[in-house]
Structure 1
Amino acid sequence: MTLQQRAQAAQQRAAQRDLKGALALIESAPPEQAAELLAMRIAYLKALDRRDDVAAIRRQQVASQPKSAIAHHNLASALGDMGRNEEALFHAQQAMALGSDAPETWIVLARALQALQRFDEAIEAFRQVLARRSDYAEAVTELAQMIWLTGGEVHQARQPHLDALAKHPANPVLLRGLATFNEYVGMDPRENWRDLTDRAKNASGQSAAVETVATYLALKFDPALALRHAERAVDMAGQDLAAWTMLAQSLLVNNRANEALEILPQLIAAAPEDQSLLAYHATAIRMLGRADPLGLDNGDALIRAANIDTPEGWADLPAYLADLKIALERQHSFVRHPIGQSLRHGTQTPVDLRRVDDPVIQAFFTAIDGPVRQYLSALGQGNDPVRRRHTGGYRIAGCWSVRLGSGGFHEQHIHPQGWLSSACYIDIPEAVDRGHEGWIGFGVPPFHLANPLEPLKLEKPTPGKLVLFPSCMWHGTIPFEDPRPRLTIAFDVVPD
């Protein structure tokens, strides 16, 4: 097999979501092809979350090229992905000492400093990224969020967006970033919409991406206006999945579920694992009072709860949860909710818990293994969007903790990167015994409907309970009032 044939065959397997097969083709290449295929190999390893293997490759490159700034940068990036932040910081600094002044190296440095809770240094490093590339949208977003999360004033946290837009006023990614920031710091939706649309108009920056954001904002106060924005977005970029998805949502909010169902099956056929499309389809079906042909209305079969196991080394589950609470509290280093997430009046851990070097936290992944496998066994095989992905195995695709304070809640949301999602309760306020305060509810969308839907199911939190459900299912937390925080761990599962 020639180099080109091998690369094309691997790309075809990857396109068919057979990442393991694609990687196997690359790794079975003869030595003379290996160097040319290395970038593909690393991409597939990353997609399969085999970060240790990526880091091993990068270590070999540093060993063979110890004076290469690029090699040190690549290793720093790989180590950062693994949560090895002290090492990531060291190799980013080595790359700089060897002459790298690229914004990509500065952002690796900034993220390592943030993960190490060296927040002032991280903020300055993010500023250095933007001094070198003023339209680096990720750095703008992360700098603004750092200032916000560490207690800065709203106007201070907004300034990175304003500075970037002063230089790049028509950049749709920057415009979307500012609109998202404004939403999560509490700006009135109509005011936020007007700010976005005025900026785009003044900069001649109208685009499908901006129209899609304008749709999202307008849905909160004028559904007919939102629908006009969505139709313009589709007209501007007829093949853009995000525009069509927002059109479907707009039709639902305008009580035109039948029309939404004319387009949603086509979108799902094009992107069968898109969790938002599945959620909108399920909502449309329920709005029309029909049985869901995809089976996403069967709350009892798809939403299951069980206590996690007691890990080895603890006498019982309460003893483990007590230690886990202490370990998690140490990870909650911010003072506000993050931008772009579902929680309000609370905090979220900044580092994926899989990467935290704490034996108490790592024991959690042993404690959940049994309940996850029991869920998979009960779920079984099938042709619906959830069961057809069932391979018999699983891997964790992300894990974090949320601490909600009094008045806190999760907006209704889905998990776009998952297959199955979860809520595991570590420490619970007494408010959960009053009605449904602090409970998790399923199946209700986050947007206004003319005839609101009732939850498919409600689950009461209890310490140690793990609730598992499809990532495409709307879920959110009912607000509660209690001086005692509500501490949870959540994670996403994908097929292995």
Structure 2
Amino acid sequence: MSALRGQPLDAAQAERFRRALGMLRSGQREQAQSIAQTLTEQAPQAADAWQLLGMCLAGNDRQEQANAAFEHALALLPGNAVISRNYGVSLARHGKALRVQGQLEAAEPVLRKALALLPEQASAWTDLGVVLRLLGRAGEALAAFRRAEGILHQRSADRPDLQDAINGALIDVGRPAEALAGARKLVAVHPGHPPAHETLSHLLWENGAELAPEEDPLSEFREAARAQPENRALQLAFARTLLMTKHADEALAVLQPLRKREPGNALLNWFAAEALDALQRHEQAAPLYAAAARGELGVLPEFLNARARHAFRARDFELARNCAEKSVAIDPCNQEGWTHLGTAWRLAGDEREHWLCDYQGLVGYAEVVPPAGFDDLSAFLQALAATLETMHNASREPANQSVRGGTQTAGQLFGRGGAVIRSAEEVLRETVENWLAGLPDDATHPFLSRRQRSVRFVGSWSVKLRSSGRHSNHFHAKGWASSAFYVALPGDVLASDISSRAGWLQFGQPLEELDLDLAPRRVIQPKPGHLALFPSYMWHGTVPFHSPEPRLTIAFDMQPKS
């Protein structure tokens, strides 16, 4: 990097500048920063010195101080292209880090400033698109992805991950036909790119009845896997998709040649064990789980949770408890680990189940107050139902969710444009905060110890169940607290009683596939305009109903926010 115009560094200072820059590039960040700091003291009017200090501070994860140094350099040389470029790159890296950490609201302004300084950063436009999509602003996300696409096109560059993100955003904005066309094109151009095949399969799974009748959602993926037996990533992705769509026998067949090539591979053993479990071949799955547990997977909560599921199916409840205890010891916020530990305690008659899952004290149920602009709650619910109906574009449920016999909206619900959705988000947050204020303190409790004044939404969606539809019993891995808000309910749900419980919400009954004969601990009859709130680790599901009218809800996951 050549010295900038402005107050120049003298020859000795310029030499130290170059030496510090070399140190920074070779990873000697603290030494480089020490030299840069000295240069700013010796030559306080030299923009070069301040810019170098900004680069060093950013490299040492001191972004706020780095920003101040870059701003000082720009004050000395306003509009300088080199400083703007380096500052823009620095901010883009910081914005990406914030995105990866899940700090979406903080990431957006950082990325926007990075792009204001250096608009040709395709990666920063992509990161901004990811942030906006996760915030529910799918239309803005699509525009950001298109900006990145345009920049890369000018460079004759091709990024399959970006094209896959564009297809995902098209799904979110309700344009599944365009998304399907884009997904088909992407797998044709990049047949070895696993995410492209996963997107295409999921699109056909949910929308194929209307967009591609008679087409097997997995056919394209299957052909690609057969044509590329050496593409390990593709084979594993296909096996995962097969397990997700209840094709465990085929998944086992796909894994067999991989396991022959890599005997003893812990990850492949894990996948095969999952398939065997799904086929009720628990005795064959057990040694594979045990072998995998002896390696690095043995301290991975995701694996420990999978082995706990196996242990429940195999009726080895002590093993299930041990796996759950290890899972929450490694990750105290791991929701599935707490779900399994509560179940193990219940099976053992351990009173700690009631401490963890206080189904009376920790389950909230309240009527929301109609938002401003609506005469009453009924008017609000009617407007909300009409808005949500337009968002249910799929023809069947997602492959990897609890919905059975219904549809789920794509992407994030909250954050979308539209006054009705914004009003719903506001009144639901208000109801949540009132619930939080009434919860007790308990520094030892995995849920209560994390309670704050408010929450941030980390997932939001709507579910529309048809007659005979239900939610299978499940928990929410990405939440701390979860919810169900009742927008519209069929007549037989409203008229049901404790004997039929048609469409009711139930807590405490484990996932059906674990085959544990445990009854629900609490049931709640849904009422329009009412919001149920509960810890994300609690098992919950719904009882099927039979009616020509749909059961329409909003759900969201939350993390604590002060």
Q: Is 1:406–2:445 an aligned residue pair?
A: no
The residue number in structure 2 matching 1:422 is 483
Aligned counterpart in structure 2 of residue 233 of structure 1, from 292, 304, 308 = 292
CA distance in 1, matches of 2:153, 2:196: 22
Q: Is 1:296–2:356 an aligned residue pair?
A: yes
The residue number in structure 2 matching 1:217 is 275
The residue number in structure 1 matching 2:8 is none
Secondary structure of residue in 2 paired with 1:421 = strand
The residue number in structure 2 matching 1:143 is 200
CA distance in 1, matches of 2:514, 2:150: 55
CA distance in 1, matches of 2:390, 2:359: 35
Contact 1:72 1:94 in 2 (8 A): no
Contact 2:98 2:107 in 1 (8 A): no
TM-score between both structures, scaled by the size of structure 2: 0.77
CA distance in 1, matches of 2:182, 2:263: 30
Q: Is 1:27–2:64 an aligned residue pair?
A: yes
Aligned counterpart in structure 2 of residue 467 of structure 1, from 532, 537, 540 = 532
The residue number in structure 2 matching 1:13 is none
- Larger mean CA deviation between 105-114 and 127-136 belongs to 127-136
Aligned counterpart in structure 1 of residue 93 of structure 2, from 39, 43, 62 = 39
CA distance in 2, matches of 1:64, 1:364: 36
Aligned counterpart in structure 2 of residue 279 of structure 1, from 319, 339, 358 = 339
Secondary structure of residue in 1 paired with 2:555 = strand
- Letter of the 1:59 partner, please give it: R
Secondary structure of residue in 1 paired with 2:365 = strand
Q: In the TM superposition, what is the alpha-carbon distance from 1:482 to its structure 2 partner?
A: 1.3
The residue number in structure 2 matching 1:60 is 113
**Cα distance change of structure 1 residues 442 and 77 upon mapping to structure 2, 3 Å threshold:** closer
* CA offsets 1:193-247 (integer angstroms, 9 cap, x no match): 5434435446658733333333333334233233233223213543333332222
The residue number in structure 2 matching 1:125 is 182
CA distance in 2, matches of 1:451, 1:157: 32
- Larger mean CA deviation between 305-314 and 387-396 belongs to 387-396
- Letter of the 2:521 partner, please give it: L
Aligned counterpart in structure 2 of residue 312 of structure 1, from 372, 381, 389 = 372
The residue number in structure 2 matching 1:19 is none
Matches within 5 A, 1:36-435: 36=90, 39-44=93-98, 47-51=101-105, 53-81=106-134, 82-83=137-138, 84-88=140-144, 90-99=146-155, 100-131=157-188, 133-151=190-208, 152=212, 156-166=216-226, 168-169=228-229, 174-183=234-243, 185=245, 187=247, 189=248, 191-192=249-250, 194-198=252-256, 200-201=258-259, 204=262, 207-220=265-278, 221-237=280-296, 238-292=298-352, 295-382=355-442, 383-432=444-493, 433-434=495-496, 435=500
The residue number in structure 1 matching 2:11 is none
CA distance in 1, matches of 2:537, 2:427: 25
CA distance in 2, matches of 1:486, 1:182: 29
The residue number in structure 2 matching 1:15 is none
Count of aligned positions: 477
**Cα distance change of structure 1 residues 25 and 390 upon mapping to structure 2, 3 Å threshold:** farther
Contact 2:339 2:539 in 1 (8 A): yes
* CA offsets 1:452-494 (integer angstroms, 9 cap, x no match): 1111111111111110011011111112221111111000110
CA distance in 2, matches of 1:64, 1:28: 18
The residue number in structure 2 matching 1:483 is 548
- Larger mean CA deviation between 320-329 and 434-443 belongs to 434-443
- Letter of the 1:91 partner, please give it: R
- Letter of the 1:419 partner, please give it: W
TM-score between both structures, scaled by the size of structure 1: 0.86
**Cα distance change of structure 1 residues 209 and 388 upon mapping to structure 2, 3 Å threshold:** same
CA distance in 1, matches of 2:361, 2:61: 36
CA distance in 2, matches of 1:459, 1:176: 41
**Cα distance change of structure 1 residues 450 and 69 upon mapping to structure 2, 3 Å threshold:** closer
**Cα distance change of structure 1 residues 389 and 154 upon mapping to structure 2, 3 Å threshold:** farther
* CA offsets 1:234-262 (integer angstroms, 9 cap, x no match): 13543333332222222222222223333
- Letter of the 1:406 partner, please give it: S
* CA offsets 1:5-31 (integer angstroms, 9 cap, x no match): 9x9xxxxxxxxxxxxxxx995334454
* CA offsets 1:166-202 (integer angstroms, 9 cap, x no match): 3554666544543454455554x5x345434435446
Q: In the TM superposition, what is the alpha-carbon distance from 1:85 to its structure 2 partner?
A: 4.2
Larger Rg over CA atoms: 2
**Cα distance change of structure 1 residues 479 and 179 upon mapping to structure 2, 3 Å threshold:** farther
**Cα distance change of structure 1 residues 354 and 297 upon mapping to structure 2, 3 Å threshold:** closer
Contact 1:55 1:79 in 2 (8 A): yes
- Letter of the 1:471 partner, please give it: S
- Larger mean CA deviation between 481-490 and 368-377 belongs to 368-377
Contact 2:509 2:539 in 1 (8 A): yes
CA distance in 1, matches of 2:533, 2:98: 28
- Letter of the 1:145 partner, please give it: H
Contact 2:301 2:337 in 1 (8 A): no
CA distance in 2, matches of 1:317, 1:289: 43
Q: In the TM superposition, what is the alpha-carbon distance from 1:114 to its structure 2 partner?
A: 2.5
Q: Which runs of 5+ in 1 are unaligned?
A: 8-22
CA distance in 1, matches of 2:102, 2:256: 42
The residue number in structure 2 matching 1:17 is none
Identity of matched residues, %: 27
Contact 1:172 1:210 in 2 (8 A): no
Contact 1:180 1:339 in 2 (8 A): no
Secondary structure of residue in 2 paired with 1:356 = coil
Secondary structure of residue in 1 paired with 2:294 = helix
Q: Which runs of 5+ in 2 are unaligned?
A: 1-27, 34-59, 71-86
CA distance in 2, matches of 1:199, 1:429: 50
CA distance in 1, matches of 2:274, 2:356: 24
Contact 1:255 1:450 in 2 (8 A): no
Secondary structure of residue in 2 paired with 1:494 = strand
Contact 1:80 1:111 in 2 (8 A): no
CA distance in 2, matches of 1:140, 1:193: 16
* CA offsets 1:386-432 (integer angstroms, 9 cap, x no match): 01111223111110000011121111111111000001111111232
CA RMSD of aligned residues (A): 3.1
Contact 1:422 1:492 in 2 (8 A): yes
